[in-house]
Amino acid sequence: MDWQRKTALIWVSLLLESGAAMDLIDQEGSTALHRAATNGHTEVVRLLLAPAPPAAPSLAPAAPQSECADVFARLLCPGGLVDAVAAP
């Protein structure tokens, strides 16, 4: 994880801990979750989807992993957060 992603993760963590509303929509119709997912910020997505804000993130390097696959799995796989319905 590069320093920009670590910085974003720390800021989001601090905002969540302070009670900031993460479901607000910006002028383009996006939430913090939309922005994080669109920009590949997997750790921020995990933080926003967590049931309760976790402790401050570790600055230790993480093992490389498939970031996009993890985001899609959390959102779209059975039991995920999105209930997709096939078009008729």
Report if residue 88 sits inside a domain.
no
Residues above pLDDT 70, as percent of the chain: 57
Quick: pLDDT tens for 10-34. 888 888 888 888 788 888 889 989 9
Could you tell me the residue range of the domain that residue 53 belongs to? 3-76
pTM: 0.55
CA distance 55 to 67: 21
Q: If 0-12 CB within 10 Å is exposed, 13-18 middle and 19+ buried, where does residue 53 land?
A: middle
CA distance 34 to 40: 10
pLDDT at 76 over 50: yes
Report if residue 20 sits inside a domain.
yes
How many structural domains is the chain composed of?
1
CATH no. for residue 14?
1.25.40
